[in-house]
Structure 1
Amino acid sequence: MAVFFSSESDTNFETGEYQQFPRSEPEDAAKEKTDKPKFRHLRVVLLSFGLLCVLQAVLNISLRLALSESSDKGETEEDGCPESWLMFGSSCYYISSQRKSWDDSRQYCEQRDADLVIINNRQEQAFLTGFTAAAWVGMTDRAVEGTWIWVDGTPVNKDGLQWAPGQPDGAFGGEDCSDLRTMNDFIGLNDLNCSTRIQWICEKTLF
């Protein structure tokens, strides 16, 4: 700092280095700077959300086109079960809502290129259990009492399937046909008089 004195007067001057103070920015400008990162982040989020919506729309359209193509082809016995039939493994099953005797039930199945169901194991039996309280299956001991065979002539593996408690019992003067029961405390295969009118289960193999 330099100091000047004047001899002609008592006046003195002081000079110093000039210090510039930063100008305070207007409040709106400062707020705008703070808000810019927020808006940038919001734009990124909205853009990502928009892309996800477009991707979802494309996937939905593709799925609908695939389903419509499959329905246009129609369902044939080669690639699926007929309408109202259920698929399990390589077989299709029809559970009736009507009631017929064992012989009439079998005839109904044969007219549809099927037969009364042959139950091969407990897994298949478990699948069929529960659709109805009682339904005919393709099992009989008409040829030899007590020797149960399936409609295709193969012997029944009695130990490999679940029978209802105490069955077969040959009660009421002869029960030569078999049905599948789903009743309280009475679940499994049962022998029954072949003329009894109950529901039935048809089976046809796909291949």
Structure 2
Amino acid sequence: MAVFHSSESDNNFEIGEYQQFPKSEHEDAATERTEKQKLRHLSVILLSFGLLCVLQVILNISLRLALSEPTDKGETEEDSCPQSWLMFGSSCYYISSQRRSWDDSRQDCVQRYADLAIISSKQEQAFLTGLTMAAWVGMTDRAVEGTWIWVDGTPVNKDGLQWANGQPDGAFGGEDCGELRTMINFIGLNDYNCSTRNQWICEKTLWQL
């Protein structure tokens, strides 16, 4: 240690070496806990990121397999619906974006080598329900009022399919054509005036392609 004497005063100044005091055990423990918490959080983040990567890979593989597998037994790449047509079972369905009368709608389907959709089961009806709010399907009672038949001549199974509430009712002086409705509290088959402009659903089977 060096001692300096001032010539103008009796003050003495002592300069010594800086002494660093050791940290207390409490401070060391707190620092160690903070470091462990940081490492624990980092480990959790890295583990979560790794799991997300694995899940993404699994999802991508599942989607590719689903898209590459046939949608029905026996279906091949050749046995698929044309572009913009939907497949259910062995049939392809076209949902129009335009609106026409029942007869004009059917003519459009014929030009597409199809016909207005014939609904044979509740499963098929469930598939078509919701594709549009209202669309013509291939049923009519023009020949005999109250006797509904499909465009292929087979009778409509009124008990096996879902009709909208209170339908068919033959309102407004005659509703001889059938449509499929998807509206709140009004879902199912409905009889409607054939001249009304509606969307429509065409159907053709895979062996018609």
TM superposition score normalised by structure 2: 0.63
Residue 109 of structure 2 corresponds to residue 109 of structure 1? yes
Residue 126 of structure 2 corresponds to 126
Residue 144 of structure 1 corresponds to 144
- In 2, the alpha carbon distance for the partners of 1:132 and 1:102 equals 16
Work out which of the two has the higher radius of gyration on C-alpha atoms and give 1 or 2. 1
Query: Amino acid of the residue matched to residue 96 of structure 2?
Result: S
Matched residue SS, 2:126: helix
TM-superposition CA deviations, 1:102-139 (whole Å, max 9, x none): 00000000001100000000000000000111000000
Query: Amino acid of the residue matched to residue 136 of structure 1?
Result: W
Residue 205 of structure 1 corresponds to 205
- In 2, the alpha carbon distance for the partners of 1:101 and 1:77 equals 35
Are the counterparts in 2 of residues 78 and 206 from structure 1 also a CA contact under 8 Å?
no
Would you say how many aligned residue pairs link Structure 1 and Structure 2? 140
Shift of the alpha carbon at 1:77? 9.4
- In structure 1, the gaps of 5 or more residues are 1-55, 68-75
What percentage of aligned pairs have identical amino acids? 82
Change (3 A) 1:141 1:78: farther
Are the counterparts in 2 of residues 77 and 206 from structure 1 also a CA contact under 8 Å?
no
Query: What CA RMSD, in Å, does the superposition of the two structures yield over aligned residues?
Result: 2.5
Query: Amino acid of the residue matched to residue 181 of structure 2?
Result: R
TM superposition score normalised by structure 1: 0.63
Residue 163 of structure 2 corresponds to residue 163 of structure 1? yes
Change (3 A) 1:159 1:77: farther
- In structure 2, the gaps of 5 or more residues are 1-56, 69-75
Shift of the alpha carbon at 1:79? 1.7
Shift of the alpha carbon at 1:197? 0.1
